[in-house]
Structures are given as C-alpha cells and as structure tokens.
Structure 1
Amino acid sequence: MTKTYPHVGYRGIDPAGIAVGQREILGRSLPYFSSTHERSHLLCAFGLSGLPKGTPCYVLVWEGVIGSFYEIDEAFNFTLLGDVLSQPGIRYASVYGLADPTFPKDRAIARFGDAGKLMALASYATRNQTTAGEEDFLTYLMSAPVVRLDHYPGIERAPHYNVGVEDPEFRNFAGIASDRIFDTFYRFAEANLHKRLPLLIAGGCGLNCDWNSKWAASGLFPQVFVPPVANDSGSAIGTAIDAQWHFTGDPTIRWDVYAGDAFDSSGAIKRDHYDIIDGGPEQVAELLARGLILCWVNGRYEIGPRALGNRSILAAPFTDATRERLNVIKRREQFRPIAPVCLEDEAARWFGCHAPSPHMLYTFTATTDALRAVTHVNGSARIQTVSKASNAPMFDLLTAFKARTGYGVLCNTSLNFNGKGFINRIDDLDRYVRRRELDGFVLEGRAYLRRDAEAVKALAPPAQ
C-alpha cells in the first residue's frame, strides 16, 4: 500500500521535517514533496539571490505570521536567530482597519490588501511624536500575541477609530506605526547581526519599498536582495527549490522575471470598436505624449505582483490629472501613488537611483517636479529601471518617449482586474479596456485605439 504524507506545516526549518513520497491525486499516484511555509520563503530568497551555494548570509522573513531573522552558513544549514515580532504583516494592516469604517472590527484577521494602502498613507505623515492614546494603542499592537481590533479594551475610544483614512492625524499615525514596526526589526539586527553578511528578504513585507530602502541604506549589510516574488507568490518557487536541493544538493536556479505564460491572442474581439494602427515605439510614444492611456502587452507576463513592463498600463508621467485618471481606471483610492518605469541610464538624473532597480522594490526621491504623476506626496517614487538587456521592447519605447519629450520615464501600473492576476487573454483585454475606459491597447506591434474614447477622437485621423 502506498504511504501518503500530510502537509508538513507552516513553521519549521529542519530539512528532516520535509515529506517525500507518493500521493493519490485525482486518481493518480504521483511523486510528492512537501516543505514548510517557513522553508519555502528561505529557499525562494536564497535560490533567486544569485549567491553561490556556500555563501553565508542572513535572511529576514517577515509576512502575515512570521517575523524572524535567520542565518544560512557555508554548509547550507539554517539557524533561527530570533523570532523578532510575530504577525508583522497583520499588525501593519490592522492599523488601516482601525481608521476604516468599512472594516469590521470583530474580523478575525486583517485584510492583507490594506497593507499596500497603509504604505501609501504612511508617506503623508508630518509628525513622529505620539499622543498618550496613540502610545497605548501601539503598546497593544506591538505586544498582543494575536492582534484583533476587538480585543483592544475600549476599541471605540481608541485614537483614530473609524475616523476615515483621509483624516490627517490618522495619516500621521500610519507613519508612526510603520516606523515602530520597522524599528523593532532594525534594533534586533543592529544588536545581533554583526558578521557583515548579505541580507536576503522574503515574505509579503518584502514588498514594502520604503522598508527595503531603509535596509539598503542601513549600512548593516554589504548587499540586500529582495526577490520580486517576496510574498506568498514565491512560496511555490521556494518549495520547488527545496525539492531540488533535497534531490540534487543544489539550491540555486537560473530564472527570469518574465517567466509567466505567453499571451493568448486567439480569442475574438469587436475590431470595429477600434482604429488599428502601427504600434511601433515611435508611434506609441507619440500617442502617450499626447495624453492617451494605453494597455501594453509584451511577451510573457511577469512573476510576482508588480507590473514590470510586460502587462502594464502606461501613460505620460507629467500631471496630477494623469495619476488621478489612472487611479480611477484601477478603482483605487486617490492617495495611492503611481510607479514610474525609467531608462536605467536616466534613473540617477530624475530619481537619484545610481544602480539598477529592475523589480520595483525600492523607493527613491524625485529630483524634479516635472514628473508629478509618478511622484508621491513625500517626493518618493517606487521606480523600475529598464535596460536594453532587461526588457528590449520597453527600452525602445522609453527611448522613443525620451526623444519625443526629453524624459525616458512613463507611468507604469499593473494590467489586471482588481484581485486577479495579470490579464493574459485578448478577450479579457478588450473587456478591460472598454469597461475601464482606457484609450486602447498595444499588442504584437499594433495599437488598437477605441474609436469612442474622447482622447482618441481628439487626435488627428489615424494613419491606417
């Protein structure tokens, strides 16, 4: 009789804890490998880092549940250095839920989508001193074993309770709470991580670009690496790397951020809704420079949650009105920033970024007020840099846009329905463009411009 193995659990770093065997899946006996969630983050971070096996390093895993530092030694042994703060992601997102009247305060767990919103709001903070009431709530937030807002005594009297996320004093508190969580981990690192090893970061908090930038600027580590799949989207990759290490002794892989599926253009769309014209770089750059907002589809889609130029919505980066329209298209709050995609050799000039930042995981400070659509309220920008080698079609488009406007920079936000993955079928793309009232899309060297879009009607008649 074939022995079956259960899932091995959430925590656990000992390789003896993995499960290997055969399992009946959909009526078939298949090879089976199970690793813990904790190991999946560790293996994803190391396997994608490019560090050769035998390179010692530190790893920070911070996500909804785990908040811990580890060391990986030359023999690829894992050591837990400290459980610094459990539930950092839940604690962080709970701050947003405190002020949001639509969040049920008796909900058992925070909405993970609120973490990205709080990251945007934290940048609005203009003070760093707490009131007595704020300090009391922070004491609960940072010390409760399990965070639930309805477990805080007198939650209805807590500062910022249901005041709404537009409230300026709550926005100050968002920045203070964000700093308090980061500083807890920073103090541990400063006191305990003295070997000058590279730092690898995994877990959903690894998508907090402000925190990543603080680690990079801390001076504690000679190198900081964050994979583009830092959140749970990287757990399957990490488990596969763990399996490879188990069977071959090799925990490293060759990888490409554009490793998703190819676009499916076989479906039917209503072509009579569009003017179909040449979609070469110069033509698309001209359309964007003249104010159109376009979906851009190129090659295979990105792994991870960030649009990196293959499934993107693109626009000129110059005006607040463009940012506002993009947030309407995305059905997002207007306090949310829009990220820029930038030519690598322009990044230092416009954002003070002096090294490649290909995965949109760090923030930099804009050096000009001309790029208002991609500059957050505090002057920061979460940039992706592009070179000819990293993404040739996007490089060519940015080069053409620079020739047209003087700036090799565009607005870049993800092409997806809310809560869904990247759009990858032409019928879904057509539906998205028409429902969200974009001006068109670019696919396979052709630009499809919506005939009924006001911005398209304002153009000169397109050349066929």
Structure 2
Amino acid sequence: MRICGIKLTHDGAVALIEDGRLVFCVEQEKRANNSRYQKIDNLDAVVVALAEHGLDARDVDRFVIDGWWGEVESQFQVLSGAAPITLKGAPYVEGHPEGLLTARDGFGLMLNDTDFRYSSYPHVTGHLAAAYCTSPFAKAGEPAFCLVWDGASFPRLYYVERRAAMFLECLFPMIGHAYAAAGYHFGPYKQANRINWDLGVAGKLMAYIALGSIDENIIKVFQELYEERSATFMEPVGRCSEDSALEPVHEFFDAGALRLKTRAPEDVLASFHCFQESQLVGSIASALQRHSHLPVRNLCITGGCGLNIKWNSALRAAGLFDDVWVPPFPNDSGSAIGAACSALAADEGFVPLEWSVYSGPAVQPSDVPPGWGASPCSMRKLATILASNKPVIFLAGRAELGPRALGSRSILAAATSARMKDHLNDIKLREHFRPVAPICLEDRAPDIFSPGTPDPYMLFDHQTRAEWRDKIPAVVHLDGSARLQTICRGSQHKVAELLVEYESLTGIPLLCNTSANHNGRGFFPNVAAACHWDRVEQVWCDGTLWTKTP
C-alpha cells in the first residue's frame, strides 16, 4: 500500500509511505534554494517528487491532502501544469471530539493529465498522527496524551491509543501566534503597523529573551490583562480570519505596552515567555487531574509551538510524565507525513511508522562554478581542517526532515573560540544574540551538558556545565544554555564518523552546527549552491572537499 501525503499551503511538502515505512518527504523549501515556508502552487511538484523515486502517480494507492482553513471544509487554488483547478479538503480542526479520522473525500487531483481521487483529514489530525506514529509510544503500543499547539490554534489536548484518538479540551484561550505577536510590540522586531508577519520571529525571540531577566511584577501585569481580556481571544481555525483573531491579541499587548513602557523590552519578553510557560505547565497539570481516569504517563508535543525548546524542557522537567516526545518536524514541515499517517491510522489504527529523519531530498548533481578546486578528503583530514578553526559546509546523503540542520546540510566549525559564534552569525546575516547549536557524541553529552540526555533532533534546552563553558564558548548561549543535538557514536551518518575523528584529535566530542542555507531560504540542495553563496571557503560533500582557490 502506497500512500502519498500532500501539504499544499505554507511548508508545502510531498511524502510517501509504503507498507508502513516512510520512503521520502520532500519539503519545497529544500528545493532549488526556495524561500522558507514555500507553498505548493503547482501539482507538478507531486509528479516530480514521485518520479525522483522511480514512481508514477498511478503507482500510488491513496492520495491524501492536509486540511486547512475552514470550519466545514477548506479550499485550495492550485495549478496542474498550466491549468488552474480548485481542490476541497478537510477543515483545520475536527468537527467533534472523536472526529479526527473523519475524512472528506474528493476528486479532481490532476497529475500528469490524469484525474485521481483523494482524501483529506483535519490539519490537527496530521500533527497528531505524525507525532504519535513516529513516537516510541507507538512502537511500544502505549497510549499517550498529545498536545497540539499551532500558530492559529489554542493549545489542544488529545488522547491517542492504537485504536482511536479523541479531543479532550483546549487548555487555555491563547493562539500560538501570541508569542510572535509579543515581538511586534516589544524588542528588535517591533513594528508600528504589524503588517509583515514573519513565521520565523517566534524562534528569534526565544533566543533574544536570554538578554533579559524575568520580573514578577511584569508577569503580574500580563496575568491581570489576561484575566481581563481572555474572553475576547478567538481560535480562528476557519471560524474567523487570522487577522481578526490577532486583533484582541494585539490589543492585549497594546494595553501591556502602556503599563510597561519604562521596562526594558528584553525583560518584558522574557517575562511574557515565563508567563506563557507557567500557563502551559499549570494547565496541563490541571487537565491531568480532570482526566485522571486515563492513567497515561506519556506526552507527545506537536504543532508549531513544539519548536519552543524551553517550553518542551519545562514540560519534561515538571515531573508530570514519564516520557515526552517531540518529532523533528512538529511544525507544518511534518504535515505531509501527517496526512499520510492519518490515512494509515484510518485503515490500521495509530500504528508505528518506520522512518528516518534523513528522508529528505538527496544532494543533487550540479556544476560547481569556476574558482573552486576538488580533492578527495577523508574524515581525518576534515577533522584536522576543523581543528584549525576553519568552518566547513558539510553536505551528506539525504537532507534531514524539519527545520533543524542535523548534520546533513550543516555548516560545521570548532566551538573552542568565542569569535566563531560571531563569525557564523555574520556570514549568515543573523543577529548577534542568536545561538549556534552544538552537535555532540551522545555518550559524552552528559559530561558537558545538563541534563545531556539523548536529544537527536535539537528540541530541548540543556545547560552547559560550568567547567565546559570556557572550553566551548561558541555553542554556549547568553543564558548558559545550548540547543543540543546528540548523535550516537556508532551511527552510520558521516557526521558521527567526523565527530569521532575530531574527538581523537582534540579531546572535544562536539562541533558548532548551523544550517547551510541562504538567509531566509531552505537548505542548499547541492555543492554548486554552497559555492555560489561564497561565504565559506570549503565545502565537503560525500568524500570530496571543494576549496575556493585564491
């Protein structure tokens, strides 16, 4: 059985599951240096993705489109070749508590001039299915709670087991976009008109708040305003527009700005982060008491807010759950996988998916521009180059899924110089306060970080131990934390082999790791793109080192 999942709106992607195994997921932003959050506006993208894996659309048994805006149904205006077509899909959220797997069936999916039928499930179903089916809980046959918190939804709590899933409750009335909205009122991203909405602002604020301090008096202001105004907050999800849902949120922050105009913006944002974190942890604790008849000690976190590593860590540290799982694609970059998993769940239940995070596009052949010389390069030689404090673009095998570079489309560098973080931020045109992540051998991580537990997808917060901060300053954030990625020493991925060699040379089992991409665009698809970028002088790809000639 081949199931093709399609995400048409922002973070557009095509995924294929065959007999319970993820064959590929191609996010449009990872093609041809496309812009971040690229949509699929032409169905030819589906045809191309299938053809790259030797498949025709007629080889697919089921097509599934991720649901989107709409209370009853969603609509998509796309092209098939040069012909405009309209497709109808499921709404954003389920119609009733047990309606997650209620499909909307359609026809008119034109691929290569052939008309295919398709199904569509609610957008939140895709998030839940992708998170649970990739989790260790699914593999163990254990039920779990699932927190789905997207930009355009309130935090929604679900219960999922092998046979079914159901909606339990909204935890509190605050859409995920509120976090980014705070940045349009305070700090470096403040805008008077708030017209240009940037999906990346929330992640930048998560870094910026390390400049500030948490102030209980500021938190008290937000608490009072929330109690006064929370009844006006709306969950859009098709019931209203995203703009109208944001109006009361902006009014909330306008009122806060009047009362906090003498406070430093970094303190205001740090305190608002803490306010929301307390809301989240406290509301989940209360919900667990209300649903104590469900003796579940597992939690999946998904939706765009699942990228907030500090909230993830707070929930893990609260002691409410035995285990917390966040997939590497909690935002809409995982929605194509989720659409396919929804159809799988409708047929077989919420069964475990066989998958790898390195299931994106392979490195594409390319013509490297003049001025770059190629030579064979072993991992030992590459480790020596890195030890001399020179960054290297590292392209290996298939791209990672989701928004984090995890060693397949990375810029790697030694972490031993504080200047390296500034250098990497400069060449990537990033703000000075943005952190650079460490990629570390898993068995050494507890010696260097707290807790230092396995974190292969860079989705939790870790504190750098005091005795290591001066040894690896480039990966230590302003608050002493690190967005750690761990990788097993015995992994077949080339970056693990490189880390072993680097450790043997230097005694340090980690490197700086940041994404290899143009500012505001997806990962480099090939060597030529990295060379044309021309901001790092050495590019390693599958055994060959390309070096810019003087």
Closer, same or farther in 2 for the Cα pair 1:373/1:80, shift >3 Å?
Answer: same
CA contact (8 A) 1:60 1:67 kept: no
Closer, same or farther in 2 for the Cα pair 1:16/1:270, shift >3 Å?
Answer: closer
Cα distance in 1 between the residues matched to 2:151 and 2:411:
29
- Are positions 1:348 and 2:443 aligned together? no
Give the stretch that moved more between structures: 181-190 or 134-143.
134-143
CA contact (8 A) 1:306 1:360 kept: yes
Q: What corresponds to 1:320 in structure 2?
A: 418
Q: 1:11 aligns with which of 93, 118, 135?
A: 93
Closer, same or farther in 2 for the Cα pair 1:430/1:197, shift >3 Å?
Answer: same
Tell me the matched-pair count: 439
**1:139, distance to aligned residue in structure 2 (A):** 5.8
Give the stretch that moved more between structures: 375-384 or 399-408.
399-408
CA contact (8 A) 1:351 1:364 kept: yes
Cα distance in 2 between the residues matched to 1:109 and 1:10:
23
- Are positions 1:386 and 2:487 aligned together? yes
3-state secondary structure, aligned to 1:99:
coil
Q: Which digits, 9 at most, give the CA deviation of each residue in 1:415-458, with x for residues without a partner?
A: 112232211123212112x1xx2121101212222223xxxxxx
3-state secondary structure, aligned to 1:233:
helix
Closer, same or farther in 2 for the Cα pair 1:312/1:417, shift >3 Å?
Answer: same
Q: 2:517 aligns with which of 411, 416, 428?
A: 416
- Are positions 1:22 and 2:110 aligned together? no
**1:73, distance to aligned residue in structure 2 (A):** 4.9
Q: 1:292 aligns with which of 362, 386, 390?
A: 390
CA contact (8 A) 1:320 1:373 kept: yes
Q: What corresponds to 1:213 in structure 2?
A: 313
Closer, same or farther in 2 for the Cα pair 1:196/1:8, shift >3 Å?
Answer: closer
3-state secondary structure, aligned to 2:311:
helix
Cα distance in 2 between the residues matched to 1:384 and 1:438:
22
Q: Which digits, 9 at most, give the CA deviation of each residue in 1:128-148, with x for residues without a partner?
A: 322476666666786641334
Q: What corresponds to 2:429 in structure 1?
A: 331
Q: 1:270 aligns with which of 343, 364, 369?
A: 369
Q: 1:192 aligns with which of 268, 287, 293?
A: 287
Q: What letter corresponds to residue 483 of structure 2 in structure 1?
A: R
Cα distance in 2 between the residues matched to 1:109 and 1:136:
29
Closer, same or farther in 2 for the Cα pair 1:77/1:313, shift >3 Å?
Answer: same
**1:49, distance to aligned residue in structure 2 (A):** 0.6
**1:238, distance to aligned residue in structure 2 (A):** 0.8
Cα distance in 2 between the residues matched to 1:43 and 1:34:
13
**1:108, distance to aligned residue in structure 2 (A):** 5.9
Cα distance in 2 between the residues matched to 1:11 and 1:249:
19
CA contact (8 A) 1:120 1:336 kept: yes
Cα distance in 1 between the residues matched to 2:493 and 2:106:
43
Superposition pairs of residues 352-371 of structure 1, within 5 angstroms? 352-367=450-465, 368-369=468-469, 370-371=471-472
Q: What corresponds to 2:37 in structure 1?
A: none
CA contact (8 A) 2:106 2:118 kept: yes
Cα distance in 1 between the residues matched to 2:448 and 2:269:
28
CA contact (8 A) 1:226 1:361 kept: yes
CA contact (8 A) 1:5 1:19 kept: no
For structure 2, list consecutive stretches of 5 or more residues without a partner in the other structure.
Answer: 1-85, 234-244
Cα distance in 2 between the residues matched to 1:77 and 1:374:
42
Q: What corresponds to 1:170 in structure 2?
A: 265
3-state secondary structure, aligned to 1:91:
helix
3-state secondary structure, aligned to 1:30:
strand
Cα distance in 2 between the residues matched to 1:143 and 1:417:
42
Q: Which digits, 9 at most, give the CA deviation of each residue in 1:204-237, with x for residues without a partner?
A: 1111111111111111001100000000111111
Closer, same or farther in 2 for the Cα pair 1:113/1:392, shift >3 Å?
Answer: closer
Q: 2:246 aligns with which of 147, 155, 159?
A: 147
Cα distance in 1 between the residues matched to 2:253 and 2:145:
38
Q: What corresponds to 2:40 in structure 1?
A: none
**1:51, distance to aligned residue in structure 2 (A):** 2.3
CA contact (8 A) 2:375 2:545 kept: yes
Q: 2:171 aligns with which of 84, 90, 110?
A: 84
Cα distance in 1 between the residues matched to 2:373 and 2:230:
56
Q: What letter corresponds to residue 335 of structure 1 in structure 2?
A: F
Superposition pairs of residues 118-137 of structure 1, within 5 angstroms? 118-131=205-218
**1:24, distance to aligned residue in structure 2 (A):** 4.0
**1:99, distance to aligned residue in structure 2 (A):** 2.2
Q: 1:204 aligns with which of 304, 308, 316?
A: 304
Q: What corresponds to 1:259 in structure 2?
A: 359
Closer, same or farther in 2 for the Cα pair 1:24/1:355, shift >3 Å?
Answer: closer
TM-score, normalised on structure 2? 0.74
Cα distance in 1 between the residues matched to 2:122 and 2:313:
29
CA contact (8 A) 1:44 1:237 kept: yes
3-state secondary structure, aligned to 1:52:
helix
Cα distance in 2 between the residues matched to 1:414 and 1:204:
19
Q: What letter corresponds to residue 19 of structure 1 in structure 2?
A: R
Quick one: percent identity of the two aligned structures? 30
Q: What corresponds to 1:32 in structure 2?
A: 118
Q: What corresponds to 1:426 in structure 2?
A: 527
Superposition pairs of residues 438-449 of structure 1, within 5 angstroms? 438-449=536-547
Closer, same or farther in 2 for the Cα pair 1:240/1:86, shift >3 Å?
Answer: farther
3-state secondary structure, aligned to 2:393:
strand
Q: What corresponds to 2:237 in structure 1?
A: none
Q: What corresponds to 1:461 in structure 2?
A: none
Cα distance in 1 between the residues matched to 2:433 and 2:159:
40
Q: 1:397 aligns with which of 477, 480, 498?
A: 498
3-state secondary structure, aligned to 1:17:
coil
Q: What letter corresponds to residue 384 of structure 2 in structure 1?
A: E
Root-mean-square deviation over aligned CA pairs? 2.6
Q: What corresponds to 1:51 in structure 2?
A: 137
Cα distance in 2 between the residues matched to 1:422 and 1:410:
19
Q: Which digits, 9 at most, give the CA deviation of each residue in 1:168-205, with x for residues without a partner?
A: 82111111111111211211111121434200000111
Give the stretch that moved more between structures: 282-291 or 126-135.
126-135
Q: What letter corresponds to residue 202 of structure 1 in structure 2?
A: T
For structure 1, list consecutive stretches of 5 or more residues without a partner in the other structure.
Answer: 453-464
TM-score, normalised on structure 1? 0.87
Closer, same or farther in 2 for the Cα pair 1:377/1:154, shift >3 Å?
Answer: closer
Closer, same or farther in 2 for the Cα pair 1:101/1:357, shift >3 Å?
Answer: closer
